[in-house]
């Protein structure tokens, strides 16, 4: 899994760029609040994806069969966390609900696109080579 986690560095780099772009677009669309909300949304999505990667990698160290259940649990927890954060933002009266939601979507798209491009270029064997042959 260590080789397969090589996408974290490019994903975080693209997420940083996406955060700045989201802040600029948010500022144009909705001023300072829009900039902050959009940037926080991208950051929240990026941290959610990174947390999932680290959780699955930790589960793999224990037992490979744990990776799917841990991935599913972290996915559900991540979506629940996004809902709670958006609920807190809405209840706080801070008018950044749409910019933050759009930032989460943009951050997810940036992360997944970067991870997909990395995967297409990665040299990861998909079979285990038996040394006895």
User: pLDDT by residue for the chain (133 residues), tens digit each?
Assistant: 555 568 889 999 999 999 999 999 999 999 999 999 999 999 999 999 999 999 998 999 999 899 999 999 999 999 999 999 989 999 998 889 999 999 999 999 999 999 999 988 887 766 666 666 5
pLDDT at 122: 80
Which pLDDT belongs to residue 55? Answer: 93
* 65 exposure class (CB count in 10 Å sphere: 0-12, 13-18, 19+): exposed
Number of structural domains, the chain?
1
Rg (CA), the chain: 18
Q: How many angstroms separate the CA atoms of 129 and 133, rounded? A: 9
Residue 24 is predicted with a pLDDT of: 96
Task: Note whether residue 127 is domain-resident.
Answer: no
Q: Which residue has the tokens 């933050």?
A: 100
Tokens of 64: 């490979």
Cα distance between residue 20 and residue 84, in whole Å:
24
Tell me how far apart the alpha carbons of residues 5 and 73 are, in angstroms, rounded to a whole number: 19
Query: Domain range spanning residue 83?
Result: 3-121
Whether 128 is in a domain gets the answer no
Contact 52, 75 (CB under 8 A): yes
Residue 133 counted as domain residue: no
Q: What dihedral angle (degrees, nearest 10) is formed by the CA atoms of 127, 108, 52, 60?
A: 0
């Amino acid at each position: 899994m260590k080789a397969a986690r090589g996408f974290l560095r490019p994903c975080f780099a693209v997420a940083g760029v996406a955060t700045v772009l989201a802040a600029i677009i948010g500022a144009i669309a909705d001023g300072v609040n829009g900039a902050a909300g959009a940037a926080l949304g991208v950051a929240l999505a990026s941290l959610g994806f990174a947390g999932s990667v680290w959780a699955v990698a930790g589960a793999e160290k224990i037992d490979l069969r744990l990776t799917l259940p841990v991935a599913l649990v972290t996915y559900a927890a991540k979506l629940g966390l996004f809902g709670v954060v958006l609920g807190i933002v809405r209840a706080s009266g801070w008018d950044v609900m749409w910019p933050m939601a759009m930032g989460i979507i943009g951050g997810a798209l940036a992360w997944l696109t970067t991870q997909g491009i990395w995967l297409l270029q990665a040299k990861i064997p998909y079979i285990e080579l038996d040394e006895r042959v």
